[in-house]
Amino acid sequence: MAKKTDNNLYTLFFAIVMVIVVGSLLAFLASTLKPRIVENQRFEKQQNILYAMGIHNNEGDNDVQFIATDKVGEVFDSYISNQYYIQGGEMIEDDEAYLIDLAREEALTRNPEYKKRLPLFIGEKDGEKFYIVPVLGKGLWDAIWGFVAIGEDLVVKGVYFDHKAETPGLGANIKERFFMDKFSGEHIFDDEGDFAGITVAKGNNDPANNRKQDNKVDAIAGSTITGDGVTAMLRNYLRTYLPYIQSINQ
Amino acid sequence: MGLLSKKDRALILDPLTDNNPITIQVLGICSALAITAQLKASIVMALSVIFVMGVGNIVISLMRNMIPSKIRIIVQLVVVATLVIIVDQVLKAYAYELSKQLSVFIGLIITNCIIMGRFEAFALGNGVWRSFLDGIGNALGYGVILIIVGFFRELLGSGTLLGIQVLGDPIAKTGLYSIGYENNGFMLLSPMALIVVGIIIWVQRTRSPHLVEEN
């Protein structure tokens, strides 16, 4: 005997009702939670920018602790003195430049008319000035990004890296302290004074990164492609930003 | 476990031993390979799957007399996907840090064949309470294997457990490293997960010979 649920009309009816119920449930959930999610993302950006310039709550040797979310807005305002974005060769001051989504800006450049906005932050800590630039690139599986803080001497003072989907235990380690810390103090110009970026190098024989002038940091074993992605994104963005940093720096 | 009848207890305990979804039914292997390079990721994945399986089995079981058989797989998929999106959104709003660590795994839950398998094989034909127990049991069985594999892969591959260096410092050469021990980076790659799962299956079948199929 055919069951009621085998009926075609019933099947169609069930499918329609299911789609409406699930669709409205998810739409309702998404719109209710959206303000909180957006706020979380805003805090995260502020935390990451501050982390790159060395403002964090790190305690042990291995943990990455950001400024707490309930304080980060205040801390951010007190350390970041100016925010700009660069568009078509001009620097425009904008207090919400940190909200600019670099990935979205890069995607928009597919339209040749569009001039992308590149955010640049100026921070001050203990009388020392930092230029903080965002970087974005490709790892093995998906996007990798971060922030690089550069001092007035044009030496890297600190970095923060993050990734969407790098391999746990391998490429995902770019966001670990042991990797990020190695970038502090690294030079981005070679001995002749030409721009060289920073290369994540295999066989560097310098695991503790004592040679700060060689433009190289030691790679993570087993994550060559992620490391190459870090090298490429640093080189791309630092090269783009350097002329602007140098012009403000004078 | 005095609350549960013998049959109900079997629903929870069987998947942990003689009917384990990974080692006996060989389901859910893909996610077991992908995320077990670290113990923490394994534990988190296990917890997420326990939640999704428990709730998913309840939902499917509640609807079991209404679901048209022609589109039942689609209905199951919609239920898993919805649950996973709900978990993802709620985590993003209320536990942002955690949701970032989970980013990859949340998506992987949908593709976990154990979930669809239990919906299809159990929840569609059984009551709510029993389906719930079956879901929890199978998710636990999956989680236990995940955690065992994660434990060995992280320990032998990185020399750490939950991110803490338990064998000494490989760069400063302390602890075990001072006598020439080296981490086996191979353990961090997916093929070794398959080999570890293989060893677990071997051990389990040697201890319980009735599990070995006759040829």
Question: pLDDT tens for residues B19-73?
Answer: 788 877 777 787 778 778 788 878 888 888 888 889 999 999 998 888 888 888 8
**8 Å CB contact between A80 and A48:** no
**8 Å CB contact between A215 and A187:** yes
CB atoms within 10 A of CB B166: 13
Confirm whether A162 is domain-assigned: yes
Confirm whether A154 is domain-assigned: yes
Question: pLDDT tens-digit profile of B178-194?
Answer: 787 878 878 878 888 88
SS3 A155: strand
Give A62's DSSP letter: S
- Binning pLDDT at 50, 70 and 90, where does residue A3 land? low
Tell me how many domains chain A contains.
1
Owning domain of residue A74: 40-249
Question: pLDDT tens-digit profile of B147-182?
Answer: 999 899 888 888 888 877 887 777 677 777 778 787
Element containing residue A217 per DSSP (H, E)? strand A216-218
Element containing residue B130 per DSSP (H, E)? helix B128-158
Task: Tell me the sheet residues that pair with A148.
Answer: A133, A159
User: Is pLDDT above 90 for A133?
Assistant: yes
Q: Which of residues 68-87 of B touch A (CB under 8 A)?
A: 68-71, 74-75, 78, 82, 85-86
Chain A contact set for B188 (CB, 8 A): 167, 169-170, 222
**8 Å CB contact between B167 and B175:** yes
Higher per-residue pLDDT: B179 or A2: B179
**8 Å CB contact between A212 and A186:** yes
CB atoms within 10 A of CB B171: 10
Which whole number is the average pLDDT over A113-127?
90
Which whole number is the average pLDDT over A31-43?
90
Is B85 within 8 Å of A164 when comparing Cβ atoms? no
Residues in chain B: 215
Note the pLDDT of residue B1: 46
Confirm whether A238 is domain-assigned: yes
**8 Å CB contact between A173 and B163:** no
**8 Å CB contact between B193 and B149:** yes
Confirm whether A121 is domain-assigned: yes
Is B69 within 8 Å of A36 when comparing Cβ atoms? no
Confirm whether A71 is domain-assigned: yes
Round the average pLDDT of chain B to a whole number and report it: 83
pTM (whole model) above 0.90:
no
* Contact partners, residue B84, CB within 8 Å, separation at least 6: B52, B106, B107, B109, B110
Confirm whether A225 is domain-assigned: yes
Confirm whether A33 is domain-assigned: no
Is A3 within 8 Å of B157 when comparing Cβ atoms? no
Which whole number is the average pLDDT over A217-231?
91
The number of C-beta contacts closer than 8 angstroms across A and B is 78
